[in-house]
Structures are given as structure tokens and as C-alpha cells.
Structure 1
Amino acid sequence: MSKAQETILELHFDALTHNYNYLKSKLKPETKFLAVVKAFAYGSDSIEVAKHLETLAVDYFAVAYTSEGVALRDAGITTPILVLHPQVINFKTIIERCLEPSIYSPRILKTFIEIAEQENQKNYPVHIKFNTGLNRLGFWHNDIEFIVNQLKNTSSIVAKSLFSHLAASEDENEKDFTLKQIEDFKNIASNFETQIGYQPWFHLCNTSGVINYPEAHFNMVRCGIGLYGFGNSAKEDQNLKPIAKLKSIISQIHLIEKNETVGYNRAYKAKGFEKTATIPIGHADGISRQFGNKKGFVFINGQKAPIIGNVCMDMIMVNITNIDCKEGDEVIVFDGNYKASTLAESANTISYEILTAISQRVKRKIIK
């Protein structure tokens, strides 16, 4: 593998294939697999990731917003796409581009039916979202009769699936809560099926749900972070491969004396003779200011170099006093060995935030 000559995000699709196959191995053959590719496929490249997953015969995609689904359609993606958080202003676009909305409230349901009827739709697929404890989006269990009546009074839409979202499926301490969510969803699904007179698909599990709660896989599962190499536990991380490797280079090395300062607001003061390296990546690229002042770090020639001073918009400075390196040497922010989850822990955050924060100005390089 060639060394980085600029800041670059490598995306390794052999790792993506591995993660997909590993998660699929947890499922029964008939259980469908929905790949979550929202937020640029967790900070990578949603179009290229989706194209690759199509070659692996993924059953569904999910995005957060309509514009993300439109981008996939414009790129030639034909697999069904669930829009998890649609807004009324985008309903006509959803229908025009054959996207499938999550219907999560009475207002959204009534309005989508109205627009679907205006567009002369018949049995347009929608996905009914129920709230079972996350308290973010979704109908309540006592809305079932209302939903069924709305569906029976129109031929414009049909409930393709019912789904909900687990709030703490990765947390063993919250197992009782998760089991309660699963039981509540089973009751909702059974009640809905009885009243509507046909069986939609049911799906509840995210990545951690797939791994920890096989009894709740139902007809389909929704995997996001696991596809990108993180299992929400140290044990499962060993079974997955991070697809993203964020690399940069040393632009310049400085030798500074005791009490000299580094960066904006003079946030770092040298304790003696020290050597620093400036690297072309900053908070505009996704390395937030919370990683400054020795919280965050990078790796140079296999050694850990703490970030010193405040993170700048386009640059960070690191302490390389005890590291044998030179200008132009490669810098690893995270990869398969030095994981994004470890960097995240240093600033009390999660791998999701690290990955999705990598800005679009960072060049992507697909490694197939």
C-alpha cells in the first residue's frame, strides 16, 4: 500500500465485504438485510459503498433524508431505499424517485396519503415506525386502530413494514429494557397484523441487536456501524474490520525552546526543548477542537504523538520529541490497528461521531 502524500481517507472494500458477510452469518437465510448508508455511509462514500453492497445482493438501503436517497438514485442505485426521517416538503420527490418513507406520526401519515392520492399512486410502499422506548420518532401502541383505519380508507399506500428502534442493545446492563422493547414490538406487530388483515415485514434490530438478540431478527435487520467495522463492544470489534483509514503527512517540523507556546491562544507551553510536527488536517476536516491539548493523538512510525495546543481549522500540531521522523512522513489518524473507537474514547465520544465528522473536502480513495 502506498504511503499518504496528503490527507486522505482510504476505504477498503475487502473489509466492507467481510463485515457484511459476518453480519449475514448471524441471520437465518430468509432474513433480509438492510444496509444503513446515511451520513455519507457513516462518513465514507455512500454511493460507492451502496454500489459495492449491491454486488453483494443487499436487500434494502436506509438513509436519513430524502436528498441522500435522491443521490443514490442519481448514481444508478436500484435497490429499495427506506427514508428514515422524511419531511412533508419532500413527499412528491420521494414518490418521483421511488423512495420509501418511514411514517412516524398522524400528520405524516395523513399528508403522505393525501399526496399519494394526488399522484395517483396504488399500494405505494411505506414503513410504519413505532416508538417502543427510544422516544425519538414513532407512533404509540394505542395509535394502531387509527393507522389501520387510515390505511383501509385508501388504496394509495400499503404498509410494507412495521419497525421500531432499540435504544440500548449494546448495553448488557440494559438487557431488561431491551427485552421489554422486543416484547412490546411483538405485541404491536401482532395487533397490527390482526387488524390490517395482512402481514407486513417486521424489523427491529440494529448492529448490536443482530449480535445480541437473535430472537428479535424478525423479517429484516438494519445494520449501520457494523458494516463499517465496529461492533459496539471490544469482543465484537475483533470480528469486524474498519473500512476507513484516515491518513495524512508531516508538513513541517519545529524545534521549540522551554516556555515557547504552540498554536492559537498559546494553549500549549513547552516544558523544555521539544520537537513538534504540523499536520494538514483540522476541525474543518473533522478533527474537532475537543481533541486538542493532549486529549487526541495520531501515530507516526508506529508511535503515539499527542495533539498539542488547540486544533486549528486546517491543521493540528503534535509532539514528536521522542519520535524518529521527518517532514513528509506518513501520519495515521485511525486505521485497522489504531482504531477510531480508541481515538473517540480519548475525548469521551463514540466512533460514530469520529467517522461521520470527516468532511467531504478530505479526498476519498477506494481500495477494492
Structure 2
Amino acid sequence: MFESRIAADHLTVTTVEGFPPEIDVLSAHNLSGHGFLRAAWFGAGITGTGRTLLIRRGGADTDAVLAAIPTVNFGPAIARARKVPGSYWPLRGALIASDCSVFELAHALDHRAARALGPVWRVGPARCDDPGIAVLIDAAQLAGWTVLSRPAGTSWVIDLDQARRDGWPRASTAKRLAKAERRLASLGTVAWRHVRGDGWNDDVLAELAAVEAASWIARTTDGSGAKFMSPAKRAQWRGALADPVLAQNLCATLLTIDGRTVAFSFDLDDGPVQYGIAGTYVSELGKYEIGKLANYRAVTDSIADGQSLMDLGAGDSGYKTQMGAVKGYDMADLLFVHSRTAAQVLARVWGKAVRGPGLIDNVPRGLVHG
């Protein structure tokens, strides 16, 4: 723990090395509603020094924690920039308690302890309609930070409650999928597996890596987008899966032929929402539509698990719309810059400065002092 520990009014602001257990406390009740933002999620596979800005109401009582902003190094060391870590998808974000006010958070971001965030720090991708992000932007601007934003895509979502009511999949689609699975059966014994919780182990991660290595990802790209192919990526997921809560929330739907995994969908439960993180199939069997089979089976599994929404993220809208997905919400990549001069320069390459939803518009600058 750093020496920087400052009380302003009823707040205590502390900079802590690493990702403390207070993060897990906040993951259960935060404005954004993201339960997967846990200490193990932030810490899995990071490079550089992790540290967390903690804001408490009162003393050191863990239950009184109001906000946590975990960060790691970002970009050239000389820039001293930082970012909120985590797998790029699902979303990245700070943790803000539901009873934390804009003014309390602004006090914290105006304290000396907030220097641990660096002169520039990044949060993204983030939902543009996220109430936690809105409070963070308002508070940062009130504390004198400039917030730059650039578009990070539009997410595609499937209403699983509606799909459950209507019947999933539609009869015509179910018929086509059954035909595809019968064709696949000519190659061997077809089976499905659903992995979560204590079902996770190194062998499962190796299976997912083998599918990626035999997929279009390995054949037509540099492999940087693969989630399991490299030992470093698998180590990252092992770190997250060491947390039993995350191990239960992370799940995989695997299609096998004679015991060999040939396609998968890798997803994350977050309350009523299931995020589609990754999925692919071995290229040699592409004509058997095994990617489509795995995608539809993942939705079937999520309906059976009681989820209300499947969030497929941005990009590649073709197959998503075929599955019934519609545009959900816009996302942004945010840069918080302390120097207004630096913000003007960075805005040329990053994006324009944004305002919060209006709370700070009538508050004069300089109101907050540490």
C-alpha cells in the first residue's frame, strides 16, 4: 500500500498495489450491474504493475467501499498512461457503488492519491448508456479531467425471453440444423458438452486452443485475436478460472465428433445477461455448418440456464442477424486526460471531448478540492 492516504470530509482515498478483495465486494452491488468485474478478472494475465484506487466512506471498513478503479500500465512507459484491464470483451469498467454520488467520486479523483491513475487513463470498451460510466465521466470532469471518446462499435443482442416464449429455434431453422447434424453424423459419433464451474481444467482449455489452431483464425490472421491458442492466453484464463465465482460464470458449449472437439462457443454469464466472448470451428469441416450448430446450441443452453439476454458484441452482423439479433447499444473507448493541453493534442488522434449527462453543467469548476 502506498503512503498516499487522504481523508477529505467523510472520505478516505487509498492507492493499493494489485487488486484487493474490496473489488469483489463491489462486484456484487455496482451501478453498472457487472458481477464479473472481480479481482481475478482484472488480474488475469496482466503485464506491468497493477494498482487500484479505492474510495471509502469513513475509515477502513471494507463494507463502506464506494468505488474501485483498477489500472495497469498502458502504452510507452515514458507516457505513464494506465488503463482499466480485463479481456477486451465483455466490457471494461471501474466499480462504483450504487450509493456513491458524483461529488464523492469527484473528490476522490481530485485527491493526490488519484495521481496513481497517471496523467492519462483509459476505460473501454464501455457502454454509452452505462449509469456507472455516466457517473464516472461527470465526476472526472468535475475534478478537472477531460474525457475523450471514440466509437467502439454497436453491440448485437438476442432477447432470450422472447425466444423462450416464441420457441427456439424457429421450426424451419430447427429443421435445417437437424439436417446439418445428421450430415455430420456420417463422420462419426456427434456429441455436445457444456462446461462450467468445476468442469474447467487445463485439458478443456487445450481443446479450445486446438480448435482455434485448426480454424480460419490460424490460417488467415496473425492469431492475435485467438483466445486460447497461445500459452499466455490460456494462462490468462486459468487465472480468471481460479476464482470459483468466475469459473461458474464462464461456460463453454463444445461440439465433438468421436471425442474430438471441432467447434465451440465460449460465453460469460453476468446476472440475466450472457456475453458471447468467442467461438470458432475447424476449417476442414466448415461445409458441415458446425460453426452455426455451435452458435445455436449456445443460445439453447443459455435459454435453458434461464438467461434473459444474449449479448454478442460488435462486428460481423451477418450471422448475428440471422440468429435474430438486433442492435442493442453503442460503445465507446474513453480516455481520461488530466492536462487540458495534452487533451487537445490527443483529441486529434483519439476523439472529441465529451460531456456527462448534464449533472455538472451548472457546477463551477474548482468546486472540488482535495
- Provide the TM-score with structure 2 as the length reference: 0.24
Computing the radius of gyration over CA atoms, which structure comes out larger, 1 or 2? 1
More strand by share: 2
Q: Which has the higher contact order (CA 8 A, sep 6+)?
A: 2
